[in-house]
Structure formats: C-alpha cells, structure tokens
Amino acid sequence: MQTVVFVIDNSASMNQTCYLGKSLLDVAKGAVESFIKQRGNRGDKYMLVTFDEAPNGIRAGWRECQNHGVVLNRLKNLTADGLTTLGYSLRLSFDLLGVNRHLTNIDTYGMGRSPFYLDPSMIIAITDGAKLSSSSAVYDELHLPMTNPLPGSELTKEPFRWDQRLYLTYVLLPPCNSNSRAGSIRHVCPTAIVICRISRHGGRSYCIKTQKTLYSSALTRWCRQSQSGVIATFPKTQTKGIGKSRLNLISEQPSWHSLHRTDICKANVLNSGPVGHWPLPEAYCPDQKAPTLPPRTAHPILRFICENVEPILLTNFPYDKYELEPSPLTQVLLEKKNSNTCWKVFVENSGKQSGVCNPCGYLKASSNLQCVNLFVMPYNYPVILPLIDQLIKQKMKPSNDWRHFFDDYLKTVPPYYM
C-alpha cells in the first residue's frame, strides 16, 4: 500500500486532438483510470492535483484519498483551461504529502533516519510538454517555487523525501491530420536538467508518442512500482585521513566512486526481524542547547571506504540488513567474488566531534554473490560489539576496565542512540 498523487496538466494546450480522436486530456484521464483499476485491490491512497492555482489545484486530497469513486469522478470532470505551471503543481504535491509526514513524525528529525519506518509514495505527472508558463512569464526550465513553505519543511533542504518517487510522462501523441501544422503547439521534450533531477529523485521520465507505448511502457511500470525502499547517496572516501577532522575525497573518480542515488530495499532476514533496530545517523550531532535542528538532505550521504575488513556479527544480537539495487558500486563488490569481507560505511560529522567518522555499518556481498547488502549496525560497532562480546564472556558482570572502555565509547555516541 502506498500513496499516489496524480498531477494532471489541465492547461489549454491539453485540448489538442490526437490521432485517436481524443483530446490529450482525455488520454491522460484514461491512463489514470486504467492505473487505478489495475491496482484496485492494493489499498492505495489516491490524490489528484491539477495545474490550477491554489486553492483549486488540489481536486482530491487526504479527505478523499481512500474513496476511489470520488477521485475518479473529479478526474472525469477536469477541463483544460489553465496554464502550464508544472513546477508549482509538483511543489504543491510534495507539500500535500508532507502534511501527513509531519503529523506522524515519520522523518524522526534529530533522531537519525529509520529505513524501516516509511511512508512510500509516488507522484505521477502527466503533461503535453508545452512551454512552462505562469500568469506572469514563460520559462525554459523547470523550477519548484520555494516560497511559503509548510511549517517543519525547513528541516529538509529539498521538498521531496527519500521514500518518494517522481514519474514525469510527456504525452506527445500526434494530431489527427499529421500534415496540418495550423494551431499546433510546439512540444518541449524533457531537458537533460529535468531528467537528471528526476533520476536523482528516484523516478523516471517518459516520452509517449503512441497509445501502445503509454499502456505497455509507462502505465505498466507505474503499476509495478510498489517499492518499500529508500534512496541514499554513496560517495567513496579515501582511507587516509579517516578519523581525523578532515576527509580526503577523491577528485577524479570512476562512476562507482560517487553514486548520486541508490535504492535501498528491505531484505527479509531472520536475524533482523520485521522491524528495524538501528537508524542511519544524522550528519550532525544534536545540540540540546540549540534552538533549532540543522536541515538535513533528503537523501542520506553514506560514505564508504574501499578497505577490505572482516564483517562483525554477534549471535542473537540485532542488526538490520538491506539490499542495494544493481549499480556500478554493487557490480564492483560482486566482481571481487568474496563474501567474507566488507567495506565500512559512515556518515560524516555524525559523532560528537566534528569530522570524526565512526562507522554505522558496512557493505557486503551476499553469500551467493547475487546482490550487495547494507548492514546497519549500532554506532561505532567495531568498538561496542567486542565490548558486548566481552561482557557476555564475563557472565554479565563488567569489570572496572570494561566500564572504563564503555564510558569512553558512550562519549562518542550521538544521544539518540541511548
């Protein structure tokens, strides 16, 4: 189950008639209706947003999201008589999804990020690709207005979140009379900037020129999207300087050294259980005296070190295991054909001392070398796990030395781990 927001272009150019004898708006309506019918038994929530200005842009919101009949009826009544305000409508959709996130505190600001505590959602935007416009100007690039933010949205630098996906579909079906150019609208195919932004967000853009492509490509892939994962950034870091206040980052890198996005999907692991145990640390250590929290990036930056070390696990001690989608990074790890070593993962500036890089987990190839998993462990696990193992061997009666080492460990741990 997930929340789906349909963003429908109802600008005047959507009145154009395509070779099917329908307007482009009717084609968009048909695609949405087919999508809802195909996923009717999944318990999804549907909302409808148009290119109209507020407050008319939200045609079906949280109140109507579970009543599919109401959503379909309001979709049927849409008319094409507005402007092409794609950026504004996307921002409105992100804000609409953000309302529920603030009410449920699902982003757990200041307490680390929990990949197991999600509100999966996707935005499906359908437009004809006409020039972006507003009541005051015409634009060549897509811009998301950042004015009048919702309360609490200042805690994230971007309007989207790590468990959201954006699918932008350009309906470019030709007119009935292909030889006639009178009254035709010049379509603008998605620019490299738009595609790059959508890709980093975790979605995709489509250019649809036939009805067959609409249903066999875009619509089919929309229906298959039932992801329960999140998106993270994985840049490589040199081993030299780790643990010091300054990191030495590689300037000239192969593609796998700095991945702008990688999907992390929950793996079914017996030892981990259905609910996660450990968060991904924040890129700052919360200061109880500070009046506000620093803003975080929508996608966590998980740095890894290409240094083969032995993985650490304790019997009956909880850990979380997530599967990474195939990427150049996972390919490099799998080509090593060694499932007995791992690469440490950390979040910069997560400790109480600025720049200190205590690991929060590691990347490791699966035993069958079919995928790469991210193991999320307690903060600075190379220190705490041996201490716990030692405590067990001491029959839970800690010695003075053990207490001293444990106190030193606690001084490095962010407060939300305690």
- Greater confidence (359 vs 138) lies with 359
Q: What is the pLDDT of residues 103-128, one digit of tens each?
A: 999 999 999 999 988 888 989 999 98
Contact 110, 282 (CB under 8 A): yes
DSSP state of 214: I
Q: How high is the mean pLDDT of the chain?
A: 83
Does the structure show a pLDDT above 50 at 271? no
- The answer on pLDDT for 90 being more than 50 is yes
Between 215 and 316, where is the model more confident? 316
Ranking 53-62, 183-192, 318-327, 363-372 by mean pLDDT, the lowest is: 183-192
**58-70 confidence digits (pLDDT tens):** 999 999 999 999 9
Confidence tier at 288 by pLDDT (50, 70, 90):
confident
Q: Please tell me which residue, 68 or 249, carries the higher pLDDT value.
A: 68
Residue 117's pLDDT is what? Answer: 87
317 or 207: which carries more pLDDT confidence?
Answer: 317
pLDDT tens readout for residues 139-159: 777 777 777 778 888 999 988
Q: What are phi and psi of 6, to 5 degrees?
A: -90, 125
pLDDT of residue 262: 62
d(CA 279, CA 230): 13
Instruction: Name every residue whose Cβ is closer than 8 Å to that of residue 88 and which is 6 or more positions away in sequence.
Output: 51, 53, 57, 134, 144, 145
Of residues 51 and 55, which shows the higher confidence score? Answer: 51
Q: Can you tell me the mean pLDDT for 316-338? A: 91
pLDDT for position 266: 52
Please state the pTM of the whole predicted model: 0.85
Instruction: State the pLDDT at residue 67.
Output: 92
Closest by Cα among 6, 35, 3, 5 to 223: 35
Residue 179 pLDDT exceeds 60: no
Residue 407 pLDDT greater than 50, yes or no: yes
Structure tokens at 221: 């892939």
Q: What domains appear along the chain, each with residue ranges and CATH number?
A: 3-224 (3.40.50.410), 230-417 (no CATH)
Taking 50 as the threshold, does the pLDDT of residue 391 lie above it?
yes
Quick one: CA torsion of 316, 282, 383, 268, rounded to 10 degrees?
20
Q: What is the mean pLDDT of residues 321-340?
A: 90
Q: How confident is the model at residue 293 (pLDDT cuts 50, 70, 90)?
A: very high
pLDDT value of position 198: 62
CA distance 192 to 195: 5
Q: Is 11 in contact with 80 (CB distance < 8 Å)? A: yes
Distances (CA, A) of 271 to 35, 281, 289, 314, 349: 37, 21, 38, 10, 30
For the chain, what percent of residues have pLDDT higher than 70? Answer: 81
- Report whether pLDDT(267) > 50: no
Instruction: Give the separation between CA 11 and CA 376, rounded to whole angstroms.
Output: 47
DSSP letter assigned to residue 217: I
Say if residue 185's pLDDT is above 50. Answer: no
Average pLDDT, integer, range 342-356: 86
* Cis status of the peptide bond prior to 55, with omega within 30 of 0: yes
Calpha distance 18→173 (Å, rounded): 6
190-247 residue pLDDT tens: 555 565 566 566 778 888 888 887 877 677 677 666 566 888 888 888 665 444 433 4
3-state per-residue secondary structure call for 42-94: CCCEEEEEECCCCCCCEEECCCCCCCHHHHHHHHHCCCCCECCCHHHHHHHHH
**Two structure tokens written together for 29:** 């309506």
Task: Render pLDDT for 376-389 as a digit per residue (tens, 0 to 9).
Answer: 999 999 999 999 99
Looking at mean pLDDT, say which of 233-242, 255-264, 335-344, 350-359 comes out highest: 335-344
User: In terms of C-beta distances under 8 Å and separation of at least 24 residues, what long-range contacts does 360-367 make, across chains too?
Assistant: 360/278, 360/280, 360/281, 361/278, 362/309, 362/311, 363/304, 363/324, 363/329, 363/333, 364/311, 364/333, 364/339, 365/333, 365/334, 365/336, 365/338, 365/339, 366/339, 367/339
Tell me which of 284 and 214 has the higher pLDDT.
284
Q: What is the pLDDT of residues 25-46, one digit of tens each?
A: 999 999 999 888 888 777 889 9
Strand partners, 360: none
Mean pLDDT of 164-192: 65
Model pLDDT, residue 200 = 65
pLDDT for 242 equals: 47
